[in-house]
Structure 1
Amino acid sequence: MQVERTDAEARAIDWLVRQRDPDFTDWDGFADWLAEDNAHAAVYDAVASLDRDLDALPSASAPAVTIITDAPARHHPSRRRWFGGAMAAALVGAIGLSSLGLFGDDGRIETLAGEHRTVELADGSKIEINGASVVEIDKDRPRFARLESGEAMFHVVHREHDPFVVETGGAKIVDLGTAFNVVRRDRQTSVAVSEGIVLYNPDRDNVRLVAGKGIEARDGDRNAPAVQDVDVANVGGWRSGLLVYNGTPLAVVAEDLKRTAGMQVSIAPDANDLSFRGALIIDKNRDRTIADLAALSGTKAERQGDGWILTR
């Protein structure tokens, strides 16, 4: 049966082909296209999955998790430089999303900058994944996840004799029935708890974190990380487009903006030592977000290509 290619499918194929170009920079345009219709992300994800697995489509089976996509995931480069657009569109219409391998390679879920994705696990737990992040889950270990890089908010169903374990870097976070946010950046792990209790490195540091507490742990530190107060209302605020800081280096803020909103912000050498205190609201008016960042950090924002640069 021939399946007619829809405009959305044709556009998704066009975006996929363009993004293979190393010089592709139109991420704002891509994000705007996704925002036009909730169905665009699912269509793109289906086309990208077909591209990746066109030579060996997986057999249909009940998924170990449910993945809810707000924007497409980043996939590894296809084994084919080009793929048959008409064929892919026909397959999109003929094959259900549950059989397209959205689970990823060996449970690896990788998101684009600016993409937010939710994974619902079989036990009822949920992982909300921020952009530019990599999370690994194991179908043979349903109470386990690994945050390789980026940021994720975990909502875990409590099981007294079967704790949920999150690994990141060389650290282990054991959940005792809670909601908590984890950030993994260069040789550093941040944990903030909004509900319940977690244990950080129970076999080594054994730091107990309750709601309203958090830590900043650096790789290689011999001492256990100090427990800090955090605002429960702001834990995982990236999910609603709210980023709150209290004396955070501008470079870290720029990294968060790229991850959460796909915004490209560079910090000039003369502003590297500046920190930021305040709240940033992320919406479609990116210029306003940057203007607020500049005003509150005492810097000047200038356009630089598809992004901005902050100078003193």
Structure 2
Amino acid sequence: MSDGMTLKAEEQAIDWMIRQRDPGFDDWDAFTAWLEMSPEHAAVFDRVASMDADLDQLPNPVEETAFSSEPARVNRRKWLGGAMAAALVGFISFSLLGNNVTRIETIAGEQRTVALADGSRIEINGATVIELDEDRPRFVRLATGEAMFHVVHRTGDPFMVEVGKAKIVDLGTAFNVIRRRNSLSVAVSEGLVLYNPQRENVKLNAGYGIEVWDGDGSPKVQAVDPLSIGGWSKGQLVYNGASIGQVAEDLGRTAGLTLVVAPDVAALPFRGALLVRDDNQQVIDDLTALAGIRSEKQKEGWLLTR
């Protein structure tokens, strides 16, 4: 069975698993018919059921509620519920890494949302890897890629995002983080974020962001349009001077496009808005028209040149 067919079978298996959690579920004839459609279906469903059983056996993290000093028990399945439900329309790779850490990985062109137990949520862009630590429910590690964080405020309990050696401390707000190949970008759309509070201690209010390049630890603060932050989740990428190389990397992550950028084009600045749509050629045409460059269709993807 091809990768595409296997992916569809995994989506259907997760759908059946969630539907069967309903006490009123009685569509067993249809479920049996689905199993009999292909030998692969039974094997895929067994894998999904095994993962579901593993989640039940894991210890529950302890969460403090915002209205009481008494700790409350939070079900791990609820913690991952947003991501499991999202898998109905696309597949997320989950890996239990030990020490109560869960790794969530999306493929290029895929966007997902994870709901956390404290009411916060994470919108995850394509080609992104994040790690959740059940022992630290207000902590997320972004290994690579891009995510938009919508954080519920808790007095005395800040939310932290770790990206490499950098730490981003949020005091109840919304902000976007990108870990590109050689840089880190943070942009705040609401509230206040602290970048590396024990070192640079840069405070970012809504409408501001920073960019830090590898090898140059000094963050560069810049004004950002709050309405454009996290626009990738709505199919819109807005730039004001980003390099063509960065734009190409973002399109690869957000739209799943394969772009090769000529060396004399990569550093050119780009300003404008790109609408991510099903017509990939139209996206490329928009980019080249706004940037004043050329594109050449290749066997896989496009080459961007002068």
TM norm structure 2: 0.75
Alignment-derived partner of residue 3 in structure 1:
none
Instruction: Tell me which residue corresponds to 1:296.
Output: 290
Native 8 Å contact 2:17 2:49 kept in 1: no
In structure 1, the residue corresponding to 2:101 is in which secondary structure? helix
Note the 1:122-141 alignment, pairs <5 A. 122-141=117-136
Structure 1 segment 72-83 matched on structure 2, within 5 A: 72-74=91-93
**Contact 1:238/1:260 (<8 A) preserved:** yes
With over 3 angstroms needed to count, the CA separation of the structure-2 counterparts of 1:272 and 1:220, relative to structure 1, is closer
Residues 136-191 of structure 1: per-residue CA shift (max 9 Å, x gap): 01111111001010000000000011000110011001111100000011232100
The root-mean-square deviation of aligned C-alpha atoms, in Å, is 3.0
Paired residue for 1:274?
268
- 1:85-117 CA distance string (max 9 Å, x none): xxxxxxxxxxxxxxxx8xxx9310000001111
Matches within 5 A, 1:121-270: 121-223=116-218, 225-270=219-264
Alpha-carbon separation, structure 1, partners of 2:177 and 2:13: 25
Per the TM alignment, residue 283 of structure 1 is displaced from its structure 2 partner at its CA by 0.8
- Relative to structure 1, the CA distance from residue 55 to residue 166 in structure 2 (aligned partners, 3 Å threshold; closer, same or farther) is closer
Read off the aligned partner of 2:292 and give its amino acid letter: G
CA–CA separation in structure 2 for the residues paired with 1:262 and 1:121: 26
2:118 counterpart SS class = coil
1:80 alignment partner in structure 2: none
Select 1:66's aligned residue among 57, 81, 84: 81
Per mean C-alpha deviation after superposition, the further-off stretch among 269-278 and 53-62 is: 53-62
Q: Percent identity?
A: 51
2:160/2:167 contact within 8 Å kept: yes
Measure the CA separation in 2 of the matches of 1:240 and 1:57: 34
Classify the secondary structure of the residue corresponding to 1:60. Answer: helix
> In terms of mean alpha carbon deviation, does 213-222 or 39-48 score higher?
39-48
Deviation at 1:132, TM superposition (A): 0.2
In structure 2, distance between residues paired with 1:235 and 1:45: 35
How many equivalent pairs are there?
256
Query: RCO (CA 8 Å, sep 6+): is it higher in 1 or 2?
Result: 1
Segments of 5+ residues of structure 1 without an aligned counterpart are: 1-12, 20-29, 77-100
**Is the 8 Å Cα contact of residues 94 and 102 (structure 2) preserved in structure 1?**
no
Q: In 2, are the aligned partners of 1:41 and 1:71 still within 8 Å (CA)?
A: no
SS in 2 for 1:142: coil
**Aligned equivalent of 1:15:** 3
Paired residue secondary structure (2:91): coil
- Per the normalisation by structure 1, the TM-score is 0.73
5+ residue gaps, structure 2, are 19-40, 58-74
Asked whether the 8 Å contact 1:294–1:301 carries over to 2, the reply is yes
Q: Decide whether the 8 Å contact of 2:13 with 2:48 is kept in 1.
A: no
Matches of 1:297 and 1:181, distance apart in 2: 25
Distance 1:263 1:303 in 2: 12
CA distance in 2, matches of 1:49, 1:172: 39
Q: Read off the aligned partner of 2:244 and give its amino acid letter.
A: L
Q: Cα gap change, 1:73/1:230 in structure 2, threshold over 3 Å: closer, same or farther?
A: same
User: Could you say if the C-alpha distance between residues 249 and 53 of structure 1 is closer, same or farther in structure 2, counting changes exceeding 3 Å?
Assistant: farther
Aligned partners of 1:169 and 1:189 also within 8 Å? no
Equivalent-residue separation in structure 2 for 1:247 and 1:208 (angstroms): 23
Give the 3 Å change call, closer, same or farther, for CA 55–221 of structure 1 in structure 2.
closer
CA contact (8 A) 1:188 1:216 kept: yes
- Separation in structure 1 between the aligned mates of residue 178 and residue 281 of structure 2, nearest angstrom: 26
The CA distance in 2 between the partners of 1:67 and 1:242, in whole Å, is 23
Which aligned segments of 4 or more residues in structure 1 are displaced greater than 4 angstroms?
16-19, 39-57
Alpha-carbon distance change, 112 to 162 in structure 1, aligned in 2, over 3 angstroms: same
